[in-house]
Amino acid sequence: MIDSEDLEPIIIKNFRNSGYRATPQRIAISRYILLNHEHPTAQKAYQEIKKTHPTVSLATIYNTIKILKRIGLLAELNLPQGQTRYDPNTEAHAHLLCLRCGSIRDWSDPIMYELMAKVSAQADFTVMGSSLDLKGVCYSCEKKGASVGSKAAADE
């Protein structure tokens, strides 16, 4: 993840070095997505960016996302039920997907790099990236589910 203070010059440099214009809308979209830890959808980015840039189009959001992916600053997550979300963390990590509320959290551990190195060495295969989604129930939902279940049992 990129430090927020250094982000704008990095965005501008990456866009220009890749042959793209660094417009105010593209910079705003990039800042929003690259600083967002919640793995936003394009639609969510559109809703947020429209507040400060009312003339932005959904096509501009998608085109900017495509550029960010192409220059290596953003990863695309294709989740169950056809939902696509975006992750600015391009380092090796796992995603903890809550099956109840839909939240996504990043989980990092040196074991991810060890696993990639082991696969590369033992399988005659050069690992260039990874995607690991761990599905379950987050603590918040588990807590809510327990109290709802207890109340329902008490009512019977």
Q: Mind listing the pLDDT tens digit for each residue in 22-78?
A: 999 999 999 999 999 899 999 999 999 999 999 999 999 999 999 999 999 999 998
d(CA 45, CA 26) in angstroms, rounded, equals 12
Residue 3 is predicted with a pLDDT of: 63
> Coil, helix or strand for 21?
coil
> Coil, helix or strand for 134?
strand
Contact 9, 27 (CB under 8 A): no
Range with lowest mean pLDDT among 9-13, 85-89, 131-135: 131-135
Give one word for 138, left, alpha or beta, with left for phi > 0 and alpha for psi -120 to 50: beta
Nearest Cα to Cα of residue 68 among 105, 111, 35, 109 = 35
Q: Is the pLDDT of residue 154 over 50?
A: no
Domain spans in the chain, listed from the N-terminal domain onward: 1-90, 91-156
Residue 2 is predicted with a pLDDT of: 58
Transcribe 68-117 into DSSP letters: HHHTTS-EEEE-GGG-EEEES--SS-EEEEETTT--EEEE--HHHHHHHH
Instruction: Show the tokens assigned to 76.
Output: 């695309």
Among 3.30.1490.190, 3.30.390.30, 3.40.50.150, 3.30.300.20, name the CATH number for the domain at 91-156: 3.30.1490.190
Q: What is the pTM of this model?
A: 0.79
Domain covering 1-90: architecture? Orthogonal Bundle (1.10)
Q: Mind listing the pLDDT tens digit for each residue in 104-149?
A: 999 998 998 899 999 999 999 988 878 888 999 999 999 887 443 3
